[in-house]
A and B are shown apart, each in its own frame.
Chain A
Amino acid sequence: MSYEARAMSGKVLEIRGLRAGYGLHTVIENISIELGAAEWFVLLGPNGCGKSTLLDCVVNRLVPAGGEIFIAEHSLHRNPFEAKLQLGYACAPDVLPPLLTARQCLEVHAHAKGVAAVGADLLALADELRFTPYLESFVDTLSLGTRQKLAVLLSLVGDPLLIVLDEAFNGLDPASALILKRHLRARIERRRGALLLATHSLDIVEHYADRAAVLMDGKLKHVWTKEELQRLRSTHADFEAALAAASGPNLQ
């Protein structure tokens, strides 16, 4: 069965009973999330609640202490190569190699993903984001926003089913952020893939997300379903108040 067929029939991402941390300190515990086709899932939560730790586990940067992660029905633990073929992750700008050019970063990502060439749609997006003039520049000479654009472009190499972004819109100018949000929405619809985004920005929940969850103290506190989000949108509800209500008595 092809990946597309698997994704259409099954789940793009499945996290079962995940537990992870650093040293003896457990950061997240008993996290279970499922992402279906064409789904944009937003992870909200206060600083230090474990959002980045969860994403680090999903992208194999941190080995969890317990639980399982499946990407396009491939276990990340038992079959990491197949799982990562369907994964695109925008790393933090400071993780990008400072002494390679943007073009060379794209070459390395394309080779790792086993694609014959970087897709025309990706180059078109680079053009839209006004990134093309920086292709021959060394990463350490790029501004924060330009490096953020490069990180997102790298995550889209190989047209992955699952796109994982950690605060990816930080540092982007409003026009580029808008272009990128629309592109990502169109991409997951076309590819029947999924997007997992950790952010503090409620406007994405308001306008783009299919589902959203609040992570507090390493546990999922509340998950808004597609229907709940649509109801909030249709009633022009205050998303900040909804987040405060879901977060618990301290915020209320």
Chain B
Amino acid sequence: MSAPRLNAAGLIWRNRRAQISRWGFIVAIVLVAVLLAIFIAERRALGDWLSWLRRHGVLCAGLAACLSAAAVAQRRTLKRAEFARSWLAAVPVKPGVARWEAFLIETLPASAAVAALFLGAALAAPALALQRADIEALGVVWAYLSGGIALGVSISFLIPRPKSIDLPPGSRYVPKPKVNRAAAIRPSFSALGLWPTRQMFAWLQPKLVARAVIPILVMMPLGTSADDAMIVIALFGLFGAMSLLWSAAMAVGGAARRWLAPLPARAAAVFRALLLPAWGVIAASCASVALLLLVVDVSYRLAAEIGAATAVIGCLTVGAVLLWHARPRRMP
């Protein structure tokens, strides 16, 4: 095997492609059709967009470079860590081949972006020619963006690799229950209701929260008042916690189903035990969101509508996911 990592990646891609169902193909075709429809509908404005992009070419190139550098550096760290534990780590490969292989794998986001730009330009060129618009602008914009992406790939090599972190068990961030060690074990499903909230806390790693709050704190010297910043942080925290709780309820629903399937537990009782506390937390969060919106001078009616809509969507989503997990699996 001359380039084992590339060959393995190719085989994995081929296997995944074979697993895509008919519905997957239909969804992909619909998405392409929607994109084409948008392109055709907006084709007359294409020349104006390109002129604007050409005027701000350096800014676009800079943004492309930043995004490309961040994406490639992150992927390099991830792929190197993966490769160190991979089944291919011990396969003998010539150093030159290994270097090229690693470069191609690590710079895949940049290569994909350049390919997408090329396809977009190939699609836009005939439309511009038909309108007798400025095709040169298209070439210049393409050169700015592609050049920015290529520059970003070079810069990514200068970004230092972060220290590897061994994540602690999720329960480290979960409030510890107060128990009497001498107390008898009392049969109850109440612990099931704690599970989604605990999963939310387990995912709320302090480092992630700190990183997410940085942009808001950076805005403060740019003219944002401390009061506004605190309210924005609170709203951000509440919406973030709710999103995590939704994801947690979905993950926990599947895990609980696998664990409890052999037990003579009534589905309705398990559903109730898992759902009601999560609904309680979602409702309380939505009420807090509505109150915070009132503080930032949003009208009573709008704040109540936003709070109610968020609560209804959250509760229905969680309920639907738990019901979906409760379905029996059958062999066709």
The residues of A with any CB-CB pair to B shorter than 8 Å are: 20-24, 26, 59-65, 80-85, 87, 89, 91, 95-101, 103-118, 135-136, 138, 140-141, 164
Contact = CB atoms under 8 A, between A and B. Distances in A.
Interface size class of B (residues with CB under 8 A): 35 or more
B331 A21 contact: yes
Contacts of A64: 331
Interface in B273-332: 328-332
A139 B67 CA distance: 40
A116 B187 contact: yes
A108 B189 contact: yes
Given A114-B264, A117-B187, A98 B331 contact: no
Contacts of B144: none
A95 B257 CA distance: 10
B331 A22 contact: yes
Main secondary structure of the interface of B (DSSP, over half): loop
B194 to A, nearest CB: 7
B174 to A, nearest CB: 6
Contacts of B195: 97, 99-100
Please give me the 7 A-B residue pairs with the lowest Cβ-Cβ distance, nearest first: A104-B191, A138-B171, A110-B187, A84-B264, A59-B262, A111-B187, A112-B265
A20 B187 contact: no
B68 interface: no
Contacts of A21: 331
Contacts of A95: 255, 258-259
B266 A81 contact: yes
A98 B170 contact: yes
A42 to B, nearest CB: 20
A107 B187 contact: yes
A97 B256 contact: yes
A60 B169 CA distance: 30
A116 B174 CA distance: 29
B223 interface: no
